Amino acid sequence: MTSYMQRMKRSELLFTVLLVPMDALAVFLGFLLAYQLRTAEPVIYILPLGDYLRFVLGVLPLWLLTFALEGLYEVRSTRRGLIEELSGIFVGVSLGVLLFMAAVFLTNTSIGSRIVLLYAYVFSFVLVVIGRWLLRQLQRKLFHYGIGVRRVILVGESEQATQLARAMSGSHVQEFRYLGYVSQADATGAESSLGRRLGSLKDIERIIEQQTPDEIIVAETKLPDRDLLELLSLSNRKRIDLKLSANRVGLQTSHVRFHAMAGIPLIEVQRTKLEGWGRVVKRTMDVLGAITGIVLFSPVMLATALAVKLTSPGPMLYLNERVGQDQRLFFTYKFRSMRAEYCTGGQYGGAQALKYEEQLIAKQNTRRGAIYKVGNDPRLTPIGDLLRKFSLDEFPQFFNVLFGHMSLVGPRPHQPREVARYEPWQEKLFTIKPGITGLAQISGRSDLNFDDEARLDISYIENWSLWQDLKILLRTPLVLLRSRKAA
Residue 4: the pLDDT is 47
What are the beta bridge partners of residue 245?
266
Which of 269, 295, 327 is where one domain is finished? 269
H or E segment and range at residue 356:
helix 350-364
Helices (H), 70-214: 82-106, 115-143, 159-169, 204-211
Indicate yes or no: pTM above 0.75: no
Distance CA(292)–CA(286), nearest Å, equals: 10
Q: What is the CATH number of the domain that holds 206?
A: 3.40.50.720
The answer as to whether 450 is a domain residue is yes
Side chain identity at residue 22, one-letter code: M
**Does a structural domain hold residue 227?**
yes
Residues 11 and 93 grouped into a single domain: yes
- Residue 329's φ and ψ, nearest 5 degrees, are -85, 145
Q: Residue 470's Cα: distance from chain center in Å? A: 17
Domain boundary among 92, 108, 143: 143
Rg (alpha carbons) of the chain, rounded to whole number: 28
Question: 362 and 462 share a domain?
Answer: yes
Contact 46, 34 (CB under 8 A): no
Residues 6+ apart with CB under 8 A from 196: 179, 180, 181, 190
Neighbours of 4 (CB within 10 A): 14
Distance CA(88)–CA(110), nearest Å, equals 30
Residues 63 and 198 reside in one and the same domain: no
Domain boundary among 213, 245, 269: 269
Whether residues 417 and 311 share a domain: the answer is: yes
Burial class (CB in 10 A: 0-12, 13-18, 19+), 453: buried
Which pLDDT score, from 0 to 100, does residue 222 have? Answer: 76
Determine the pLDDT at residue 223. Answer: 78
Specify whether the CB–CB gap between 322 and 397 falls below 8 A: no
Residues 343, 324: one domain?
A: yes
Q: Do residue 297 and residue 427 come from a single domain?
A: yes
What is the block-wise mean pLDDT of the chain (487 residues), using blocks of 10 residues?
52 83 95 86 74 89 86 68 80 88 82 81 94 88 80 86 80 74 73 81 89 86 78 81 68 56 66 75 92 94 95 91 92 93 79 87 84 89 91 94 95 93 88 92 71 89 88 86 53
Return the closest-CA partner of residue 213 out of 240, 176, 190, 235: 240
Q: How far apart are CA 420 and CA 404, in angstroms?
A: 24
CB–CB of 459/448 below 8 Å?
A: no
- Which residue range forms the structural domain that includes residue 311? 277-480
Residue 331's CB is within 10 A of a number of other CB atoms, namely 14
Q: Both 54 and 21 in a single domain?
A: yes
Domain co-membership, 139 together with 154: no
The identity of residue 215, as a single letter, is: E
Question: Do 372 and 452 reside in the same domain of the chain?
Answer: yes
